[in-house]
Amino acid sequence: MSDNNSSLKRPVGSLAGFLISIAIGLVIYWLLNNIKGLEVFLTYNDIVAKTAHDPFHKLLWLLMDFTEAEFYAGVFAGIFIIIGAFIAWRLDVKNSRLAGFNICYGTNTWPWVFASQVLSMILVLYVLNYTHLFNEYTFLPTFITVVGGPPALMLIYGPNPRALITGSILGAFIAFPIAFWLMTKVISVINVPVVVANVTTMALIGIIMCQVFKVLPWIEKTPYKTINRQVKELSREEKIQDMSKPSWFIRRVFADFSEAQFYGNEIAGIFLIIGVIIDFILNTAHPAYGSGLLPAMILAQIVGSATGIFLYFDKWVEKGWYATFVPVVSSAPACVLAFGGTIPVALFAGILSGIIGAPYAEYLANKLPEDFHPTIANVTSMAVTTIIVYVVMQALPWF
């Protein structure tokens, strides 16, 4: 009877893992705020000024867009997350114990996901050439296809050249116009962070592309090339015991930093953070739009992810995945940009975002049709969570 009760008891995440994660965020915050930048690299505004007409700066912008979802927009951050993802994929293919969480959710489609991101970005930046608008704007939402429809559809339809080309073209042609219209015509009126326009666009194009792909006669699902994984079957108790370790908790926090790109791996996440720290050291006016708020952004993101993992650990055990990354790429950094780079702002935004983001994403995901990718629910939750946290903080007198 006691064993039964023990197995039914709600599992709790590692308190040590939670506290260590917060400590890591605070250490990064302190170190970055006390580092004197070398000021030897291009500023964010330097790159914006030349992206419209210079191929080299277009390439830099493409790399920056790989981490735009995390609000970093850093060249080295972009390079490093790609390197980290490649390493994670190779380790995954080799079934290495060092691979960490299976990149791209164990589908062995990372090269195809990456190809869809690069191809759709090239179409946006070079073929459609929307970047002439940089003459008027210092930010344009060209990154949507990196974290939106094209890679999501590769995960749904598998390693399929037709799906790759069709998804990249379709995503490139519809994502930017919708995001740009929302950013300039809607968000500016209702006065909420720009990220709301971006994630709303991701939800819309996700719905549109899923529906279009269903009726295209040349699109068929292709089976994944499976990896012969040596997975030990664990009982629920053994699984909980393994996941309750501080190391699992910390790895999961870092993995959340690469979820937006559909990588979901801690190696990619750690490389991403290392890359953006290099960006910040080389020039504090390069990452995070030259705002100088990167230290507080990283702290808020770690707090947001750690809060969700700690509170909803039972969901991780039950489902194997939960959308605790929602605040990392939406409300947490957005509120730091809006209210400043102090520790109270980072902690409050991170904690409240972590409480709201994942369960609302789960609620929406349960309402989606089966052939819709769950990312539609996740990005919708990002929009709603950002609005709620932003409005709450705006109403409080001490922010």
Q: What is the DSSP string of 287-326?
A: SGGGTS-HHHHHHHHHHHHHHHHHHTHHHHHHHS---TTG
Q: What is the pLDDT of residue 227?
A: 81
- On whether residue 133 sits in a domain, the answer given is yes
pLDDT at 258 over 50: yes
Q: The whole model's pTM is what?
A: 0.94
pLDDT at 308 over 60: yes
* pLDDT bracket for residue 399 (50, 70, 90): confident
pLDDT digits (tens, 9 = 90+) for 208-251: 998 999 899 999 898 888 887 777 777 888 888 999 999 999 99
Residue pair 132/176 in contact (Cβ under 8 Å)? The answer is no
The enclosing domain of 122 has a CATH number of 1.10.3430.10
Choose among 268, 301, 262, 72: nearest CA to 148. Answer: 262
DSSP 396: S
- On whether residue 4 sits in a domain, the answer given is no
- On whether residue 206 sits in a domain, the answer given is yes
Share of residues in the chain with pLDDT > 70 (%): 98
- On whether residue 2 sits in a domain, the answer given is no
Q: What is the mean pLDDT of the chain?
A: 92
- On whether residue 17 sits in a domain, the answer given is yes
Residue pair 67/273 in contact (Cβ under 8 Å)? The answer is no
Give how many domains the chain has, as a whole number: 1
Q: What is the pLDDT of residue 8?
A: 62
pLDDT digits (tens, 9 = 90+) for 94-126: 999 999 999 999 999 999 999 999 999 999 988
pLDDT digits (tens, 9 = 90+) for 158-181: 999 999 999 999 999 999 999 999
- On whether residue 5 sits in a domain, the answer given is no
Q: What is the DSSP string of 47-61?
A: HHHHHTT-HHHHHHH
Distance of CA 193 to the CA centre of its chain: 17
pLDDT digits (tens, 9 = 90+) for 9-30: 788 889 999 999 999 999 999 9
Would you say how long the chain is, in residues? Answer: 399
Judging by beta carbons within 10 Å of its beta carbon (0-12, 13-18, 19+), is residue 257 exposed, middle or buried?
buried
Residue pair 347/303 in contact (Cβ under 8 Å)? The answer is yes
- On whether residue 1 sits in a domain, the answer given is no
* pLDDT bracket for residue 1 (50, 70, 90): very low
Phi-psi region of 226 (alpha: psi -120 to 50; beta: other; left: phi over 0): beta
- On whether residue 135 sits in a domain, the answer given is yes
Residue pair 297/73 in contact (Cβ under 8 Å)? The answer is no
DSSP 143: G
Range of the domain at 375: 10-395
- Tokens of residue 383, six digits: 């929009």
- Tokens of residue 31, six digits: 């170190």
